[in-house]
Amino acid sequence: MGIYNWLVYVWGKMPILLEGALLTVQLTAIAVGFGFIIGIFAGMGRISKNRLIKSISVIYIDFIRGTPLLVQILIVYMGLPQIIGRPIPAMVAAIVSLSINSGAYVAEIVRSGIQSIDKGQTEAARSLGMTHSQTMIHIILPQAVRRIIPPLGNEFIAMLKDSSLVSVIALEELMRKAQLIYTRDYRPFDILIAASIIYLIMTLSISKLVRFSERRLRTSDK
């Protein structure tokens, strides 16, 4: 009887939770998308021979990876307005902070992907008269991208879960929707279990897509 009542209650709240879940997926996709762009430049900068570029990349990666995402969100949402003199919308703050955070982790994925390519290919390309930039763009990066797709999938899953932290700035993604419901109905256990199941379904679905892409990549490499 308890389970039946729980199902009835949760089913009635499902449209609100799914609305929050949709925003969670959108935030994650945007953050990882921008993070991928940032990560490519930061990852290449991390192994650059230019000391200034390498130093900037290392400082960025180490700072972001070494500080909590929650602090980064609050810096963007509450700290930056103090400097620029105007408030930042919650959605913008969430995208900026999540993207910057994701970029640091993607940078390490990109760096490892680039360094996993045999150095002989770089030497062969240079012997054909290709510049360093041409070698990187036409030879190294295309192969590295194929190898980093599975780790990028894992980063997507991690960011999907970490995006729940933007609830602290009142952005109504899945976790915030759950909070609004249980503070009104005084049934936190019921709603949090439902939210957990939705997160689990999303992460398992993405995990299956990642495994499928890995199998396809292995097949295409043969």
130: nearest Cα among 116, 115, 117, 140:
140
Q: What is the mean pLDDT of residues 23-42?
A: 94
Q: What are 3's two structure tokens?
A: 């389970």
User: Token match 């940078």: residue?
Assistant: 107
Percent of the chain with pLDDT over 70: 97
For the stretch 151-190, pLDDT in tens is: 888 899 999 999 999 999 989 999 999 999 999 998 999 9
The amino acid sitting at 191 is I
CATH of the domain at 53: 1.10.3720.10
Angle at 135 between CA 134 and CA 139, to 5 degrees: 115
**Structural element, H or E, at residue 170:** none
When divided into structural domains, the chain yields a total of 1
Q: How far apart, in whole angstroms, are the C-alpha atoms of residue 37 and residue 43?
A: 10
Ranges 37-41, 103-107, 130-134, 207-211: which has the least confidence? 130-134
pLDDT for 1 beyond 50 = no
Task: Identify the pLDDT of residue 221.
Answer: 59
Output 161 or 149, whichever has higher pLDDT: 161
Mean pLDDT of 110-130: 80
Write down the residue that tokens 């990109």 correspond to. Answer: 110
- Give the domain range for residue 215: 2-221
Residues in the chain: 222
Give the span between the Cα atoms of 20 and 18, in whole angstroms: 5
For the segment 92-118, what is each residue's pLDDT rounded down to a tens digit? 999 999 999 999 999 999 998 888 887
Residue 41 neighbours by CB distance under 10 Å? 16
The answer to whether 87 touches 169, Cβ cutoff 8 Å, is: no
Q: What is the pLDDT of residue 219?
A: 66
CA angle 210, 97, 154 (to 5 degrees): 15
Give the DSSP per-residue string, 137-168. Answer: IIIIHHHHHHHHHHHHHHHHHHHHHHGGGGGG
- Do the Cβ atoms of 102 and 151 come closer than 8 Å? no
CA distance 16 to 180: 10
Average pLDDT for 67-91: 95
Residue that is written with structure tokens 């400097």 in the block: 83
| Mean pLDDT of all residues belonging to the chain | 90
